[in-house]
Amino acid sequence: MKNANLNIVTRITKTSNLKHQTSKPNTKYQLRCLGCGKAIPDRYTNICPEGHDSLLRTEYNYSMQIRKLSGMGMFNYIDWLPVDAAMPIGASPITYKSEGLGKELGLKNLFIGFSGYWPEKGAFMKTCSFKELEASPTCLRVKEKSGKLLVVPSAGNTSRAFAEVSARTGMPVIAIVPKSSINRMWTTTAPENQSSIFLIAVDGDYSDAIAISNEIVKLEGLIAEGGAKNVARRDGMGVVELEAAFFMRTVPDHYFQAVGSGTGAIAAWEAFIRLIGDGRFGEKMPRIHISQNLPFAPIYHAWQAGRAEIIADKDMINAGDAIKAMYSDVLSTRNPPYSIKGGVYDMLVGTQGTVYGITNEESRVAGKLFESEEGIDLDPAAAVAVAALITAVDSGVVVKEDKILLNITGGGYNRLKADHRMNRIEARMELKSSAQLALDVVETEVSEFVRGHL
Ligand SMILES: *Cc1c(COP(=O)(O)O)cnc(C)c1O
Ligand SMILES: [Zn+2]
């Protein structure tokens, strides 16, 4: 065991350079359909050309053993990212060993993966959530593989992450968010850098934003970001687990995360599969513990019922009201990739995983405990994950010596405010929900934006 650990260290130092990074841009990776098993070259391909209801998964051709490079933020792990170039702005998630919360819960090996802003710990993700890990490689992959302009619907955190990347790189993006989430749209860059962002506010919730996005993306020159099916998003979020594995020198026994779509947890599973394949980080697949925020918890209800499908009438009763009542509405995905091959259900089966339904009150208490023990404010979603960990400890599902990775998917907003201005992004358009959308009204303005940026 000791020797294996040393090996990692030597490897890291020996290979910390970019030598063969750009030598084989076209053969670095391919996509594999988990439905038919065929290899597919990447042309910003998000679905199998033969139409299988399956995720595609990236296969990296060289570097079965991943290198941790240096000085490039999340792109230190470019070996396992579906892009050719690194983006100069890549901040990185961090991992550290908990003292306060670990002691409080009686856990000796509690490790925290933190995606957000916390300079004292070396975390500089200014959009304060792990959505930033999805945005950077996705923008790059679009540029490298499609040459089109990205359309991103979200409940706020995703669009903000893409907007920040856009403001800092000039890569254009069309962001579509519910009006109620418009206060989540800001960047830390100067307002004059926001011209590459076309923000649309929608009168409705997250699913209305998605519906409108599905219409707008039909316009010339635009491409859908792709959600869970987009390998750049998943492999980007997988960097949390890669960073943790290098820090912990092993994959964990247990992994905890709050989910809306579950994309982040699928990403964790895929990262663990690759890390186990690497050979230096252990052989046992971690158990993945995901949590949803009651009253809106379709994955939780379907899994409790032992179903591989989500049934709206049973698992999403009064969805609109339920979503409004949530402590963390970024977890309000109505159509998670649950049944699709390689999706959430397969992930849970493949990792002996489990799902928790967490109340608002439990989340609040957990968030407070985390802040007082660890010293940073949390995104409400991350508090849901902390509450799930507390539940698991109380029920004896995890024990004292277990190596646990708690994915704190967002936090540090208050800390960021102390250091940076948060400049609001103004919406260029406000739209009624998709039923009344007249595409020709939108078309003129959007097309002008597209022409100006392609
Ligand atoms: C989006 C989000 C999640 C949930 O991620 P999914 O991949 O949709 O499951 C969790 N935490 C934060 C802070 C988020 O922004
Ligand atoms: Zn296929």
* DSSP-assigned beta bridge partners for residue 341: 54
Rounded to whole angstroms, how far apart are CA atoms 132 and 379? 14
Least confident span in 13-22, 36-45, 255-264, 297-306: 13-22
Residue 47 contacts residue 33 (beta carbons within 8 Å): no
3-state secondary structure of 369: helix
Closest approach atom of ligand 1 to CA 331: 4
- Complete domains list, the chain, with CATH: 2-22+130-230+422-453 (3.40.50.1100), 94-128+232-415 (3.40.50.1100)
Query: What 8-state DSSP symbol labels residue 410?
Result: B
**250 Cα to the center of ligand 1, angstroms:** 24
Q: What angle do CA 286, 122, 379 make, to 5 degrees?
A: 65
Which of 444, 437, 423 has its CA nearest to residue 176? 437
What confidence tens digit (pLDDT) does each residue in 114-159 have?
A: 999 999 999 999 999 999 999 999 999 999 999 899 999 988 789 8
Which of 446, 274, 295 has its CA nearest to residue 361? 295
pLDDT at 201: 94
Identify which ligand lies nearest to the alpha carbon of 34: 2
pLDDT at 322: 95
**439 Cα to the center of ligand 1, angstroms:** 30
**220 Cα to the center of ligand 1, angstroms:** 30
The pLDDT confidence band at residue 443, using thresholds 50, 70 and 90, is confident
Query: What 8-state DSSP symbol labels residue 171?
Result: -
Ligand 1 shell residues, CB under 6 Å: 129, 131, 157, 258-264, 330-331, 333, 379, 381-382, 409-410
Mean pLDDT of the chain: 91
Determine phi and psi for 21, rounding to 5 degrees. Answer: -65, -40
Rounded to whole angstroms, how far apart are CA atoms 366 and 363? 5
What confidence tens digit (pLDDT) does each residue in 14-34 have?
A: 333 333 444 444 589 999 999
Mutate to test the pocket of ligand 1, among 261, 269, 408 (most ligand atoms within 8 A of CB): 261
Q: Which residues touch 86 (CB under 8 Å, ≥6 apart)? A: 21, 72, 75, 78
Q: Whose CA is nearest to atom 3 of ligand 1?
A: 259
Q: What angle do CA 68, 159, 206 make, to 5 degrees?
A: 125
Give the residue ranges of DSSP H helices in 50-99: none
pTM of the model: 0.92
Q: What angle do CA 352, 355, 358 make, to 5 degrees?
A: 155
Could you tell me the two tokens for 208? 């209305």
Closest approach atom of ligand 1 to CA 263: 7
